[in-house]
Amino acid sequence: MLHSNRLNLFLLLLIIFGASGCDRPSAATVGDTPVAGQRLKVVTTTGMVTDLVRAVAGDHADVLPLMGPGIDPHLFKPTRNDVKKLYEADAVFYSGLMLEHRMEEALEQLAGTGRNVFAVTEKLDRNRLRSPPDFAGQYDPHVWMDVSLWSECLPLVADKLASLDPEHATDFQQRAQAAQAEMKELHEYIRRVIESIPPENRVLVTAHDAFGYFSVSYGIEVRSVQGVTTESEAGIQDVNALVDFLVEKKLPAIFVESSVNSKNIQAVIEGCQSRGVTVKIGGELYSDAMGAGGTYEGTYIGMLDANATRIAHALGGTPPARGFREKLEPPQK
C-alpha cells in the first residue's frame, strides 16, 4: 500500500472529479486498484543504499537520495527540507548500524509515526559483523566494503518493496538476484587484484577506519589515522604511530578518502618526510560516499572497482589497467 495520505488525496480527487463529471486525472484511469500506476516514492540516505534500492526497484520507484557525493554520513545532519522529504516518502531506506548517527533521532521519530523505515543491514547475520574494540558495543557500519556481505542486503530491499507494491514483486525478486550475481563477480575480481599485490605491500593506510570488512574479506591489513567514525578528531599520537609504522614498513603509497578531509593523511606524509622516508598518495578512495553522479565511480560497482584497482595498482599489484568492467580511466604513471 502507498502511504495513506496519498491514498486519501487520491480518493478526494476521485470524488471531486468523478462526481462532477469532469475529466479525471490520468492516474485514475490506470489499473483497477486506486493506487495502480503510481510509482513509489522512496527516500534513501547514502549513495550505496541508493544504488542498492535502485538496482531492485528499477522503473517502479522514484528513489531520492539525501546524501550526495563526498558527503560524510557520520556527520550528516538532516535539514528541515530533508525531514520534509522523509515524511513525504512511501518508504525510507537507510544503512543502519549507527552509520547515520546524527539522523537517528529523525529516523526514530519517523518510524514512531508508523511510516515505512528500513535499515538495509537489519537482517544481516550479526556473527558476520565486526565489533571493533574502539567502537564500544557497536558494530562496524561499513558493510558495503565487503561486496558479498552487502549483496546480502538485497533480499530485504526486495521484500520491503514487494510489500509496498505487490504487483511488481516478481520483478523486484528477479532484479535483486541479477544484482547479487553481478556483485558476486565483482567480489571475485577484488579478491584477485588484491592477491596480486606483493605480500609485503599488502597494507592499506587510509584516513579513517572504513575498510575493516574490506580487510577481512580480501586479505589486506588496514591501518588508519581515525577510528571507525569520523566524529572524534585524530590526535598527534595517532599520526605519529602511523608515521612509525610507515617508516618501518616502507610502503609505496597511502590513500586519501573522498568524504574525509585529507589533512591527517598529509600530516602523516610530512611526518615520514621529516624522517627521510617518501610516501606518496596512491589515489583517492571512496569510503563512505560514492563518486560524482553520472560517472562510473558514482555507482556502487564503480566505487568498489575504482578502490580495489587503485589500491592494487599503487601497492605494486597487477590489476587490469581499466578495472573490472574496463570502465575506469587508466592510472597515470
Question: For binding to Zn ion (CB under 5 A), which residues are involved?
Answer: 210, 288
233 or 326, CB closer to Zn ion? 233
**Distance of closest approach, residue 286 Cβ to Zn ion, in angstroms:** 11
- Distance between CA atoms of 298 and 155, rounded to whole angstroms? 23
Burial of 49: CB neighbours in 10 Å, binned 0-12, 13-18, 19+: buried
161 or 210, CB closer to Zn ion? 210
**Distance of closest approach, residue 35 Cβ to Zn ion, in angstroms:** 38
Residue-wise DSSP of 213-226: HHHHHHT-EEEEEE
- Distance between CA atoms of 283 and 24, rounded to whole angstroms? 56
210 or 242, CB closer to Zn ion? 210
90 or 288, CB closer to Zn ion? 288
CB 62 within 8 A of CB 108: no
**Distance of closest approach, residue 142 Cβ to Zn ion, in angstroms:** 6
**Distance of closest approach, residue 243 Cβ to Zn ion, in angstroms:** 22
Residues 6+ apart with CB under 8 A from 228: 132, 134, 135, 138, 140, 141, 142, 208, 209, 210, 212
44 or 259, CB closer to Zn ion? 259
**Distance of closest approach, residue 102 Cβ to Zn ion, in angstroms:** 13
**Distance of closest approach, residue 139 Cβ to Zn ion, in angstroms:** 13
> What Cα–Cα distance (Å) separates residue 245 from each residue in 85, 162, 197, 268?
46, 50, 19, 10
**Distance of closest approach, residue 18 Cβ to Zn ion, in angstroms:** 52
**Distance of closest approach, residue 214 Cβ to Zn ion, in angstroms:** 12
Residues 6+ apart with CB under 8 A from 230: 72, 74, 75, 208, 260
Cell output for 169:
514483486
229 or 299, CB closer to Zn ion? 229
Residue-wise DSSP of 34-54: TTTTPPEEEEESSHHHHHHHH
Cell output for 202:
599488502
76 or 324, CB closer to Zn ion? 76
CB 13 within 8 A of CB 63: no
Burial of 331: CB neighbours in 10 Å, binned 0-12, 13-18, 19+: middle
210 or 251, CB closer to Zn ion? 210
E-strand stretches of 56-130: 61-65, 91-94, 117-119
- Distance between CA atoms of 8 and 151, rounded to whole angstroms? 36
Residues 6+ apart with CB under 8 A from 216: 130, 146
**Distance of closest approach, residue 29 Cβ to Zn ion, in angstroms:** 48
* Residue whose C-alpha cell is 577506519: 209
183 or 210, CB closer to Zn ion? 210
